């Protein structure tokens, strides 16, 4: 058995070396009417051939980009047309490599393909990706940081991010990539499929291939290949075809995955399980096999990877308790890429949640304490919060992904994400509580006095509750009127919109601000008074003399200066089991000592 395995490896290695030495046919020597052969996988891991007839050429479709038009035939292609998953299938004429099948036309009656010339793909072999250069197309807006826990539409945000990945449309279009999805089940796939389709992919129900320990045959031109975006208990793997193998370098696809430039993704072998004919876009249903290397470049003319290389990934652990009390634990890794990682985390969490619970309707989602993004050499980023109502699932899955986006795309340092731990409880009832009124045990007090507040809270479909909390008036409080505001995080944050425009100074400051975000499951008691101070580069300077205030607030004095007309002198919190809505206010007169 051992000798047979060695013999297979030697045969695969011989085929790889032989193909690497195949001469190429330049674009300007390709002529209409030429005939050749293509290589791809229609079933399992066995490479098959198909016939190719050159129909014409499209020079200069882009800067230094050309396209060869061809009709493909043979095997199942008469029935399926060009298959999603054939991207990268190498085409040779008279023993010379012409390029890779990369483009197709939807609803075409014939298997007409666009071929990317091999010379354009070979330019990628001169690049050796440095994924640390990667960054999102749009920097995060931190001006509304204090409101992200309840007012950001995470679904719309990540859809915009996907649109920035895909870019414009046109014809011809790259042959769509089948995206093998495992671990979600039917319900989870239905929930995330529209999002994945916006990324130009065809989500296909699949099984976990690599986890089963299936051996991977040596990659050679025509082999099925996978690029894993998520791996583990949940898998998202884009599959295509190998165009070129030489030593430890692999070229595939003939068009971009996303066009991200330098990337770092697991590169796997793949096995085709079945073909799915379609009037619009036929596709291969495939599963991933074991990892064989890492993708390093994602460019306009294809993707390039290194065999034997190890990719950098972000480990995620999700502990979920369902409405029935069932506990489930998922462990998976997502691509360590500032643009992909937040998107993939959002999609994966939505898919897992929808596989166990309903995808719409009122619910309550709690991220319990211990839900954190762990950082190397920095404080953990805390994510615990509670969301209730029709958008609870969107907020519960969107908040961790959005905070990850803020961290990975900050303006100061490239963060090292050690891992993400999420502890999520789902309840199919709505746990909200509305603040109705407040009463104080006194409405006149002196500095140093303790005042007791009683808050009436009305839970959704439940009897009123009365919460009590005492607060102490600071000794340095000057005589005058204190405005006592009681409410949830959303209402209190809205009353402090001026402070929300203060920008973090560095990554450490950003982490501290995130960890100080108010939680939705707490009643806040905030006492404010008039103030003549400013916020200078994130630091409060209260009670300034008018002359100093004017100098600091003068235009072009120093950056990040904000005048503050009111200042909080007291803030107390009351933990609850509800997402707090509504508010109430009352005035308290502070008398001289």
- Would you list the domain boundaries of the chain? 1-311, 315-427, 432-590
Average pLDDT value for residue range 328-342 = 94
Closest CA to 481 of 586, 564, 593, 563: 586
The predicted-structure confidence for 193-248, as pLDDT tens digits, reads as follows 888 887 778 888 887 765 444 577 899 999 999 999 999 999 999 999 999 999 89
Are the CB atoms for 354 and 428 separated by under 8 Å? no
Which pTM value belongs to this model? Answer: 0.86
The predicted-structure confidence for 465-477, as pLDDT tens digits, reads as follows 999 999 999 998 9
Q: What is the pLDDT of residue 132?
A: 53
Are the CB atoms for 89 and 101 separated by under 8 Å? yes
CA neighbours within 13 Å on the CB side: how many for 84? 27
394 DSSP 8-state letter:
H
Vertex 175 angle, CA 173 and 253, to 5°: 115
Res. 551: pLDDT tops 70: no
Q: What is the pLDDT of residue 210?
A: 56
In angstroms, rounded to a whole number, what is the distance separating the alpha carbons of residues 295 and 268? Answer: 9
Pairing type for strands 235-246 and 249-252 reads antiparallel
């Amino acid at each position: 058995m051992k000798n047979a395995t060695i013999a297979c490896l030697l045969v695969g290695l011989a085929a790889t070396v032989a193909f690497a030495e195949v001469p190429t046919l330049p674009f300007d020597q390709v002529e209409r009417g030429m005939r050749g052969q293509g290589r791809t996988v229609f079933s399992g891991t066995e490479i098959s051939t198909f016939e190719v007839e050159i129909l014409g050429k499209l020079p200069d479709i882009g800067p230094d980009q050309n396209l060869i038009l061809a009709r493909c035939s043979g095997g199942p292609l008469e029935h399926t047309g060009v298959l999603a998953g054939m991207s990268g299938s190498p085409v040779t004429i008279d023993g010379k490599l012409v390029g890779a099948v990369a483009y197709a036309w939807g609803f075409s009656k014939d298997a007409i393909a666009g071929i990317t010339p091999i010379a354009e793909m070979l330019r990628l072999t001169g690049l050796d990706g440095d994924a640390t250069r990667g960054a999102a197309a749009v920097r995060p807006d931190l001006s509304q940081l204090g409101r992200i826990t309840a007012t950001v539409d995470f679904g719309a945000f990540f859809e915009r991010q996907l649109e920035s990945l895909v870019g414009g449309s046109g014809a011809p279009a790259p042959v769509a990539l089948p995206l093998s999805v495992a671990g979600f089940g039917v319900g989870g796939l239905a929930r995330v499929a529209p999002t994945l389709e916006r990324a130009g992919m065809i989500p296909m129900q699949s099984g976990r291939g690599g986890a089963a320990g299936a051996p991977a045959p040596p990659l050679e031109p025509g082999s099925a290949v996978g690029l894993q975006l998520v791996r583990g208990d949940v898998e998202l793997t884009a599959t295509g075809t190998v165009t070129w193998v030489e030593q430890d370098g692999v070229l595939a696809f003939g068009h971009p995955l996303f066009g991200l430039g330098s990337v770092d993704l697991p590169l796997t072998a793949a096995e085709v399980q079945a073909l799915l004919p379609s009037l619009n876009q036929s596709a291969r249903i495939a599963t991933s096999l074991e990892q064989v290397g890492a993708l390093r470049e994602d460019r306009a003319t294809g993707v390039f990877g290194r065999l034997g290389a190890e990719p950098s990934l972000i480990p995620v652990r999700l502990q979920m308790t369902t409405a029935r009390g069932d506990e489930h634990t998922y462990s998976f890794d997502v691509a360590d890429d500032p643009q992909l990682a937040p998107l993939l985390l959002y999609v994966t969490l939505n898919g897992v949640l929808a596989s166990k619970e309903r995808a719409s309707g009122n619910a309550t989602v709690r991220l319990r304490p211990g839900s954190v993004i762990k950082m190397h050499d920095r404080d953990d980023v805390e994510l615990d919060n509670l969301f209730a109502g029709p958008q609870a699932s969107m907020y519960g899955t969107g908040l961790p992904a959005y905070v990850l986006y803020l961290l990975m795309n900050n303006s100061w340092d490239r963060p090292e994400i050690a891992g993400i731990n999420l502890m999520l409880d789902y309840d199919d009832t709505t746990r909200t509580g509305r603040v109705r009124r407040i009463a104080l045990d006194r409405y006149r007090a002196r500095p140093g006095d303790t005042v007791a507040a009683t808050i009436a809270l009305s839970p959704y479909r439940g009897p009123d509750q009365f919460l009590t909390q005492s607060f102490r008036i600071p000794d340095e409080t000057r005589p005058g009127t204190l405005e006592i505001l009681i409410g949830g995080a959303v209402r209190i944050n809205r009353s402090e919109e001026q402070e929300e425009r203060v920008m973090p100074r560095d990554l450490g400051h950003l982490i501290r601000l995130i960890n100080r975000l108010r939680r939705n499951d707490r009643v806040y008691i905030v006492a404010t008074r008039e103030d003549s101070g400013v916020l200078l580069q994130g630091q409060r300077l209260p009670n300034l003399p008018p002359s100093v205030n004017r100098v600091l607030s003068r235009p072009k004095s120093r950056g990040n200066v904000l005048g503050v007309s009111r200042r909080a002198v007291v803030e107390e919190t009351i933990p609850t089991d509800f997402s707090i809505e509504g508010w109430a206010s009352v005035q308290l007169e502070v008398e001289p000592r």
